[in-house]
Chain A
Amino acid sequence: MAVLSVGYYLFSNTLANLARQNIATGFGFLHKEAAFEIGESLISYSAADSYTTALLVGLLNTLKVSLIGIIITVILGTFVGIARLSTNWLVAKLAAIYIEVLQDIPVLLQLFFWYALFYQFFPSPRQALHPFNGLFLSNRGLVFAVPQYHPAHAFMLAALFVAGIVIFFLRRWATKRQAETGRIFPLFRTSLLLIIILPLITWALAGAPTAMNSPTLRGFNFSGGLNVSPEFMALLLGLVLYTSAFVAEIVRAGIQSVSQGQTEAAMSVGLKPGQILNLVILPQALRVIIPPLTSQLLNLTKNSSLAVAIGFPDFVAVANTTINQTGQAIEGIAMIMAVYLIISLTTSVFMNWYNNRSRLIER
């Protein structure tokens, strides 16, 4: 009863305040014209589009930076985590410094640092750094050449897909044969070969198109090629460096959780170092690594909301502009929260599924 009356009091206050400031309620504003430009977008967008489209652009940008960030973070974090355990003193110490320093500096400060660095030290597009053909680095971002679109690319993608299917069946056959005869099939090398060779053959058959869409300097900026903005680079760099330090610690702890005896037993069975890592250590370490890794990767996704501070148009930044224009703060913030909640929940569901799967292998 008390809760209800307090709730009613707050609710009536809110309505009175909204009415006084002439702010509409409800999600009707989503269909109105957004009337602001967005710096970078994965889908076509102009200021004449609706708020819904603008928010979708923001959401896609959030997903883009999170996905790319997660992939690089996992690779870099694993690398540093293994380096931390290296028998090479120099490498181990450098990895320790990397972990300690990057963990202890707030991620927002790191974002500001990289962003300022990009603006201060990189030249204007006219004097862009040009380390090799087709790549320019300036304070407008990184521009590099991409292949000109050609129908062959679609076929190459199909070939890659076919390679995937072939590998899937090859793997089943190899496992079966190994179980029956004990003969080991070099699966990894064959798969790698298939992934490279099949698209290459398709490319050659389609007439080997080599036309590139290279960036050229026009006026004060580049046209053509693929442009990575400094905001995106700073955001990605900051998020990846910060989170990879945590991931490295998790990987180190995971590897150390597998007892030395396991390695020694595997060695005495005659496995090679690569096999020991793949067949003995990783399957056991992953079980320790995955739960904390999930929460770190979710942290990365949530921290990508700091993009608003350096002007990268992620979901929070677009929603913030929307709030400022329409004044509908409650709806805007509810949407921000809902989006991140959905991302978090989906990721945890997926990671739980993966976690269960990797647990099932245990017998």
Chain B
Amino acid sequence: MAVIINLEENQNLKPPISDIGVIGWIRANLFNSWHNSIITLTVIYLLLQVIPPFVNWAFINSCWTTTSAECHKSSGACWSIIHANYRFIIFGFYPPAEQWRPLIAMLILFSLLIVSRNRNWWSKYLMFTWMAGILIMGFLMRGGAFGLTSVDSAQWGGLPLTLILSVFGLTAAYPLGVILALGRQSRLPVIKSLTVIYIEMIRGVPLISMLFMSAIIFPLFLPEGVTINKILRAQVAIIMFTAAYVAEVVRGGLQAMPNGQYEAADSLGLNYYQTMRLIILPQALKIVIPPTVSILISAFKDTSLVVIIALYDVLKTTQSTLSNPKWMGFSTEAYLFVAMIYFICCYFMSTWSRRLEKDLDTGR
């Protein structure tokens, strides 16, 4: 009898304090074996070596709104370089009095992106809103009517330029990529081999060679006296480059379509265009949304290469700030600031793409 009572009491016993709560968590996740304990202690030691000096440098000893002379005296970070130059870093040579225009354009873009995050709101209206938004953004940047002074695109720069190059780049590259992917699947040998050569060639060369081509060779093709704006040429190079990558992604989606879909469409008597437009592409493009977002992310990062052909994107404006003798030597702070801009944008997109992937996975 006594034994049974003992058992019942045991069942009501709580697990030992060392297995639950904070201590239990630490034991299970940081000290679950002797070598893990050693690793944990080493890592903590290293972090203690790195983090306090960094915090000292970045926050405690740092200057935020001072002049460059005071910065040179201080031992900490000089965030004043950002404070003093943020307008140039973000907007480049855009006339200061008109800088509200790119700001509003960027806000429109961001709000469109945020609205598009929610998949329940995807509809034709959203697509029209996007088109209207892009037109308004272009008008705001360019001006020249309704009392807005015209701003030549040679003066565009900074973050708006980075966003324009990547967002417009992907928007224009997407249909081109779909056409290329369809061409690669084509039964006509000429079309097929041409698209394969194009896709493989572009994917085999670095973007920088395409940008050089747009900057140096392209003007040679044009008749005397005709010039095409530098930004537009870079944009064309980015579009041509991105399209090849989009084509490969879309091809993946097309190949994932079971043959039965084509056969069903055939038996309904649909022709090639109807089959593609109504049956195959809607399904194939849906599958490839997550990898398309990662192309958008890399296109966004790759626009930074226009620095090399001397376009004033957000990285180039930072560099020219640094070449100002007053602010020379604070490159770490300036580059960290730009890195943060890129990081926030990319992190936002990649978390979204991961969530989307999960959503779409359960849907199928």
Contact = CB atoms under 8 A, between A and B. Distances in A.
A152 B44 CA distance: 45
Given A106-B304, A112-B315, A305-B208, A330 B40 contact: no
A105 B220 CA distance: 35
Interface stretch (A13-21, A133-141, A154-162, A195-203): A13-21
Nearest to A337: B205
B107 interface: no
A109 B221 contact: no
Contact of B209 (A16, A20, A103, A337): A337
A113 B346 CA distance: 18
B20 interface: no
B201 to A, nearest CB: 7
Contacts of B205: 302, 336-337, 340-341, 344
Contact of B301 (A90, A107, A320, A329): A107
B85 interface: no
Contacts of A320: 212
Interface in B159-209: 201, 203-209
Interface residues of B, number: 48
B30 to A, nearest CB: 6
Contact of A116 (B203, B307, B331): B331
B224 A16 contact: yes
Contacts of A344: 203-205
Interface in A296-324: 302-303, 305-306, 308-309, 316, 320, 323
Given A106-B342, A305-B209, A309-B308, A116 B30 contact: no
A88 B40 contact: yes
B346 A88 contact: no
Chain A: interface residue count, which band? 35 or more
Contacts of B203: 344
Interface string A275-310: 000000000000000000000000000110110110
Given A88-B40, A89-B29, A107-B301, A112 B335 contact: yes
B159 to A, nearest CB: 13
Contacts of A109: 304, 315, 335, 338-339, 342
Given A306-B206, A341-B201, 15 more contacts: A88-B32, A88-B40, A90-B40, A90-B44, A104-B342, A104-B347, A106-B302, A109-B338, A116-B322, A302-B205, A308-B308, A323-B212, A329-B216, A341-B205, A345-B204
Interface of B: 29-30, 32, 36, 39-40, 43-44, 201, 203-209, 212-213, 216-217, 219-224, 297, 301-302, 304-305, 307-308, 315, 319, 322, 329, 331-332, 335-336, 338-339, 342-343, 346-347, 350
20 contacts: A88-B39, A88-B40, A89-B30, A104-B301, A104-B347, A105-B343, A106-B302, A106-B315, A109-B339, A112-B319, A120-B329, A305-B206, A306-B206, A306-B305, A316-B206, A316-B208, A330-B217, A340-B206, A341-B201, A344-B205
